[in-house]
Amino acid sequence: MNKNEYMDLIQKEIDGVISEEDLRKLRAVLKNDPTARREHDDLHKIGTMLNSITDVEPPRSLKANVLNAIQARPAHHDFPTTLFHQLEGAMANFISLYSKHRRGAFILGGAVVVAIAIVYVSSFYPPPAKESVSGTIGEAKKYRGEQMSDKDVSLLNPEIQKILQNDKVQTALKNKAFQSALANPAFASAVANSAFTSALANPAFASALANSAFTSALAKPAFASALANPAFTSALAKPGFASAVANPALQSSLKSSELRSALKSPELKSALSNPALQSALADRALQSALASPQLQSALSSRSLQSALANAELQSALASSSMQSALANPALQSALASPALQSALASSALQSALASSELQSALANSAFQSALSSGALQGTMGE
Amino acid sequence: MVVEENDALLVQRSLSGDRDAFEALVVKYQKPMFNVALRIVHDYEDASEVTQAAFVSAFENLKHFKPRYKFYSWLYRITVNGSLNFAKGRRRFEGLDDGMVSIDKQPDEVFSEKDTALIVEQALMKLPPDYRTVIVLSHFQDLSYKEIGDVLNIPVKTVKSRLFTARQLLKDILIGSGD
C-alpha cells in the first residue's frame, strides 16, 4: 500500500467512516510500516488537540438582536412565497374537488394557476433587486438538451419556475378542461384580482368550495363573467361575503339561473362590493331569504339591480340605523316571508325602489329610525 | 448532527409570517452558527455580529430556500460565507511567527488543556480560510463529507482533499514536518 492509500485510510479512520475491511488493511500497514505509524499518530494527535477546543456559549443578546433586526423588516418580504403556499393549498383542493365535480372545480383550479402567474407579475414584477443570497445552495446541475435556447423560453423569475415545477400545477396543466378554463379571457381577468386570491385563502370560502352545489354554480358562464368584474372580486375578498357564500342556503341560491343571470349585471356587481351589503349578506336570515325563488327572481330584475347600485341606497344600507334594522329578527323574518318576497318581485315595487324619491326617503335618518322601530317591524312581519 | 424533523415546518411557518417559528430556529441554531463564525473570524464580538447578520440574511432570503435541502446546511452556508467574507475583508491574520505554536510531541506534558486549545485556535488562524473552514465543519460541527460539500457547494472528493491538506498543514504548524 502506497502513502496516498494509507493516508486516505487514516483520514477515514479519524472521520469515523472507515469500513471493517479498510480498518484491517490499515492496521496491517501500521504494524509493518513505521512511517505510516508516525503519520497515523501525528494526525490522531492533531485530532486530540482539536478536541481541546470546546463550544462557546453565544452572547445572550444574540437572539434578541436577531429578533429585533427582523422585526424591522417589512412583511412583504414574505408575501410571494406565502401567497404561493396559499394558492398551492387551493390547488390541492382543486385536485381533490376535480375528481368529484369536474366542471365546477376546474374553474377554481384555473383561478389558482392564473392567479399565481398574473398576481405575481402584476404585484411583484419587476422583482426587487436581489440582496446577496450567497448562502443559497445551488441546485444540482442537470444535463440540458439543445432543443430549446434561452430565446425560446424565458423563465427569469425563480418564483414562476417554482410554480411551474410544482407537481400539482403540472398535473392540472395537463388536463384538457383545465386548459380550456385557462383560455377564457374573462376568467383570466377575474383571477388577476389579488382580492380574489385572498378570498381563496379564506377558510370559509375554502369550505364553500367543498360544496357540490357551489362548485356547480361556479362552473356556469354567468358566474365566471361575474368574476371578471373587479367590484365583485373585491366583494369576494371581504370576510362577511366569504362567510356568506359558505352558507348552504346561499350556495343553493347561487344555483338559480336567475341569480346567475343577475350576477352578470354590472350594477349588481358594483352593489355587492359595498361593505354594508356584504355584512347584510353574511346574515343567516338574509341568506335564507336569498335562497327563495321569489327573491332570486327579484334580484334578476334590472330595476332592482339598478336600485341596489344607487349610491343613496347603498349609503342607507351603510347607515348604522339601517343596519340595526336589518339585524332585527322581526325585519329578517319579514324579509323571509313569501308575501314580502312576492312583493319585492313585483315590478311596481322594483320601480318604486328605483325611484329617486324612495331612495332619498330611505337615506333619511328619520325614516331609518322608523324602520328600526319595533312597531313598524312588527307590522311588516304580520 | 441530530436534526429534528420540524425544521421544514418551522421554515414554512416562518414564511407565513410566524415570527415565533423563526425565533425557534434562532434558538436551535444560534450556538452552532456562532461557534462556526467564532472559529473562522477568531473574535467573540465579530463572531456575534457575523452570526446575527447570517440569521437576518436567512430570514430575508427564506423564500429562496429550497425545501429539498436541509435548513441547517443552508444556514451553515450563509454563516460560513459571511464569516469568510468578514475574515477576508478584515485581512487580520493575527500574527504568530512561524514556529511560535510549534509544540513538543508531548503537548499534554507541557501545556494545560486551556493552553493547548489556545495554541490550536491560533494554528487554525494560520490556515488559509478554505482549509480552516473544512476543519471547523468536520471537527467542531461533526458534519459528514456530504454535509460539508452541501454547505460549501463543493464535491465530496474536494472536501476530502481539503481535509487532508488542512490536517497536514495543522500537523506542520503544531508538530512540525517531522522531516
pLDDT digits (tens, 9 = 90+) for A210-248: 556 556 656 666 666 665 666 666 665 555 555 565 566
Average pLDDT, rounded, for chain A: 61
Mean pLDDT highest for which of A56-70, A209-223, A263-277, A336-350?
Answer: A56-70
CB nearest to A55's CB, from B35, B116, B163 = B35
CB nearest to A63's CB, from B26, B32, B153 = B26
Concatenating the DSSP letter of every residue in B3-71 gives: --TTHHHHHHHHHTT-HHHHHHHHHHHHHHHHHHHHHHH--HHHHHHHHHHHHHHHHHTGGG--TTS-H
Q: pLDDT tens digits, residue range A326-366?
A: 666 666 666 666 666 666 666 666 666 666 666 666 666 66
Q: Is residue A130 part of a domain?
A: no
B contacts of A17 (beta carbons < 8 Å): 144-145
Q: What is the CATH number of the domain that holds B54?
A: 1.10.1740.10
- Give the pLDDT band (50/70/90) at residue A15: confident
Cβ atoms A239, A202 nearer than 8 A: yes
Shortest CA distance to B118 belongs to which of A23, A54, A118, A349?
A: A54
For residues B51 and B105, state if they share a domain.
Answer: no
For residues B81 and B104, state if they share a domain.
Answer: no
For residues B80 and B110, state if they share a domain.
Answer: no
Distance (Å) from the alpha carbon of A232 to chain B's nearest alpha carbon = 27
pLDDT at A84 over 80: no
For residues A196 and A336, state if they share a domain.
Answer: no
For residues A262 and A377, state if they share a domain.
Answer: yes
Domain boundary among B27, B61, B92: B92
For residues B100 and B82, state if they share a domain.
Answer: no
Q: Name the least confident of B42-46, B61-65, B94-98.
A: B94-98
For residues A42 and A90, state if they share a domain.
Answer: no
A100 to chain B, any CB pair closer than 8 A? The answer is: no
Dist. CA A241–CA A271, nearest whole Å: 13
Q: In this prediction, what percent of chain A has a pLDDT beyond 70?
A: 19
Q: Is residue A299 part of a domain?
A: yes
| Proportion of chain B in helix, strand, coil states, percent, rounded to 5 | 70, 0, 30
Residue A113 sits in which domain range? 79-125+157-246
Half-sphere exposure of B96 (CA within 13 A, CB side): 17
Cβ atoms A101, B87 nearer than 8 A: no
Cβ atoms B119, B173 nearer than 8 A: no
For residues A262 and A234, state if they share a domain.
Answer: no
Dist. CA A56–CA B45, nearest whole Å: 12
Q: pLDDT tens digits, residue range B96-146?
A: 333 334 444 444 444 566 677 888 888 998 899 899 999 999 998 989 999
Residue from A42, A54, A84, A165 whose CB has the most chain B CBs within 10 Å, to mutate: A42
For residues B55 and B68, state if they share a domain.
Answer: yes
For residues B14 and B64, state if they share a domain.
Answer: yes
- Give the pLDDT band (50/70/90) at residue B56: very high
Q: What single-letter DSSP state applies at residue B154?
A: -
- Give the pLDDT band (50/70/90) at residue A291: low
Q: pLDDT tens digits, residue range A149-159?
A: 333 333 334 54
Dist. CA A114–CA A112, nearest whole Å: 6
Cell of A244: 356568506
For residues A210 and A359, state if they share a domain.
Answer: no
Q: Reduced to 3 states, what is the DSSP secondary structure of residue A328?
A: coil
Cβ atoms A137, B149 nearer than 8 A: no
Dist. CA B33–CA B77, nearest whole Å: 10
Domain boundary among A246, A272, A291: A246
Question: What pLDDT was estimated at residue A17?
Answer: 87
Q: Which H or E element spans position A46?
A: helix A34-51
Domain boundary among B45, B66, B92: B92
| Chain-chain contact of B75 with A135 (C-beta, under 8 angstroms) | yes
Contacts of A142 (CB under 8 A, 6+ apart): none
Residue type, B29: Y
CB nearest to B153's CB, from A11, A137, A158 = A137
Distance (Å) from the alpha carbon of A233 to chain B's nearest alpha carbon = 23
Question: What pLDDT was estimated at residue A228?
Answer: 60
Q: Which residue of A has its CA nearest to B36?
A: A55
| Chain-chain contact of B61 with A63 (C-beta, under 8 angstroms) | no
Dist. CA A112–CA A92, nearest whole Å: 10
For residues B82 and B133, state if they share a domain.
Answer: no
Dist. CA A37–CA B28, nearest whole Å: 41
| Chain-chain contact of B113 with A52 (C-beta, under 8 angstroms) | yes
Q: In this prediction, what percent of chain A has a pLDDT beyond 90?
A: 6
Residue B134 sits in which domain range? 94-179
- Give the pLDDT band (50/70/90) at residue A3: confident
Cβ atoms A191, A115 nearer than 8 A: yes
Dist. CA B79–CA B56, nearest whole Å: 11
What global pTM score does this model have?
0.45
Q: Is residue A120 part of a domain?
A: yes
For residues A241 and A292, state if they share a domain.
Answer: no
Q: What single-letter DSSP state applies at residue B108?
A: H
Residue from B36, B60, B65, B103 whose CB has the most chain A CBs within 10 Å, to mutate: B60
Domain boundary among A227, A246, A265: A246
Question: What pLDDT was estimated at residue B83?
Answer: 92
Cβ atoms A18, A12 nearer than 8 A: yes
* Residues 155-194 (A) with a CB less than 8 A from some CB of B: 158-159
B contacts of A38 (beta carbons < 8 Å): 178
Residue from A3, A22, A52, A61 whose CB has the most chain B CBs within 10 Å, to mutate: A52
Q: What is the CATH number of the domain that holds B156?
A: 1.10.10.10
Contacts of A360 (CB under 8 A, 6+ apart): A312
pLDDT at B93 over 90: no
Mean pLDDT highest for which of A18-32, A129-143, A325-339, B2-16?
Answer: A18-32
Cβ atoms A267, A310 nearer than 8 A: no
Question: What pLDDT was estimated at residue A54?
Answer: 86
A contacts of B109 (beta carbons < 8 Å): none
Contacts of B138 (CB under 8 A, 6+ apart): A15, B148, B163
pLDDT at B35 over 60: yes
Mean per-residue pLDDT, A260-268: 65
| Chain-chain contact of B164 with A77 (C-beta, under 8 angstroms) | no
Angle at A225 between CA A224 and CA A230, to 5 degrees: 100
Cell of B51: 452570526
For residues A236 and A372, state if they share a domain.
Answer: no
Q: Is residue A341 part of a domain?
A: yes
Q: How many structural domains compose chain B?
A: 2
For residues A240 and A261, state if they share a domain.
Answer: no
For residues A211 and A262, state if they share a domain.
Answer: no
For residues A91 and A239, state if they share a domain.
Answer: yes
Contacts of A237 (CB under 8 A, 6+ apart): A195, A196, A198, A199
Q: Is residue A66 part of a domain?
A: no
pLDDT at A277 over 60: yes
For residues B84 and B115, state if they share a domain.
Answer: no
A contacts of B175 (beta carbons < 8 Å): 42, 45-46
For residues A227 and A334, state if they share a domain.
Answer: no
For residues B84 and B132, state if they share a domain.
Answer: no
A128 to chain B, any CB pair closer than 8 A? The answer is: no
A49 to chain B, any CB pair closer than 8 A? The answer is: yes
B contacts of A3 (beta carbons < 8 Å): none
Q: How many structural domains compose chain A?
A: 3
Mean per-residue pLDDT, A284-299: 64
Dist. CA A381–CA B152, nearest whole Å: 77
For residues B111 and B75, state if they share a domain.
Answer: no
Mean per-residue pLDDT, A14-23: 88
| Chain-chain contact of B140 with A63 (C-beta, under 8 angstroms) | no
Question: What pLDDT was estimated at residue A190?
Answer: 47
Question: What pLDDT was estimated at residue A71?
Answer: 81
| Chain-chain contact of B79 with A135 (C-beta, under 8 angstroms) | yes
Cell of A352: 318604486
pLDDT at A31 over 60: yes
Mean pLDDT highest for which of A241-255, A337-351, B29-43, B59-73?
Answer: B29-43
| Chain-chain contact of B15 with A78 (C-beta, under 8 angstroms) | yes
Cβ atoms A291, A253 nearer than 8 A: yes
For residues A97 and A231, state if they share a domain.
Answer: yes
The single residue listed with the C-alpha cell 329610525 is A369
For residues B2 and B35, state if they share a domain.
Answer: yes
For residues B115 and B146, state if they share a domain.
Answer: yes
For residues B124 and A171, the model is more confident at B124
